Structure 1
Amino acid sequence: MSVQDELTSVQRCLDDLYRSVGRLEQQIGSGGLDMRRVRADADHLRESVALLREGAVARSSTKHPELVPIPDTPYDDSLWTDSDDEGLGARDRRAP
């Protein structure tokens, strides 16, 4: 199953949960602390799934950077004539 199919399945289940919470809220009443907490949790789940869906869409549309091949041939030594040996100091001086 693809990510989009899974997200659609989760959304369907969440919609069923939301409807069930609404029916339960009508029977019990919405004033109790427990019912308000269940409603808030269902709302948070809905928001979280929406964020997850946005992230999945963004990841699927993001292009991977183009790879740049690095040749196996050695670099030209003339590129390094003006540099010091890293960590060893200059060639004409002694290390402390």
Structure 2
Amino acid sequence: MSVQDDLMTVQRCLDDLSRSVSRLEQEIGSGGIDIRRVRTDADHLRESVALLRETAPRVTSSGRPDLVPIPDTPYDDTLWTDSDDEGLGARDRHAP
């Protein structure tokens, strides 16, 4: 099962949970703190799964995630002009 399939299964379960909570609200009433907490928790789960679906890796038809090409050209040296060499200390100072 792929990640997208698992996320769809979770979404269906959340839909079932939402319907069940709605039925409980009709039977019990929506004024109690317990049922409001359950409704809020279910809504938070729905939002969390939606965020997870946005960030989950997309799988192409070949069954592999989309690859991001990394160029072989060297980085521009001006990117590093304002930094020290990590682990070597500053250029104008000596180690004790």
Q: Which residue of 2 aligns with 1:8?
A: 8
Aligned amino acid, residue 21 of structure 1: V
Q: Which residue of 1 aligns with 2:25?
A: 25
**Would you identify which runs of 4 or more consecutive aligned residues in structure 1 move more than 2 Å?**
59-68
Aligned amino acid, residue 64 of structure 1: V
Task: Give the TM-score taking structure 1 as reference length.
Answer: 0.63
Aligned amino acid, residue 3 of structure 1: V
Unpaired runs of at least 5, structure 1: 69-85, 88-96
Alpha-carbon deviation of 1:67?
A: 6.6
- Tell me the C-alpha RMSD between the 2 structures: 2.6
Unpaired runs of at least 5, structure 2: 59-64, 73-87, 90-96
Task: Give the TM-score taking structure 2 as reference length.
Answer: 0.63
Q: Secondary structure at the match of 2:46?
A: helix
Q: Which residue of 1 aligns with 2:67?
A: 63
Task: Kindly indicate which of the two structures has a greater share of residues assigned to helix.
Answer: 1
Aligned amino acid, residue 36 of structure 2: R
Query: What is the aligned length?
Result: 70
Aligned amino acid, residue 26 of structure 1: Q
Q: What are the Cα deviations for residues 32-91 of structure 1, in whole angstroms up to 9, with x where unaligned?
A: 0001000000000000000000011xx3376334374xxxxxxxxxxxxxxxxx89xxxx
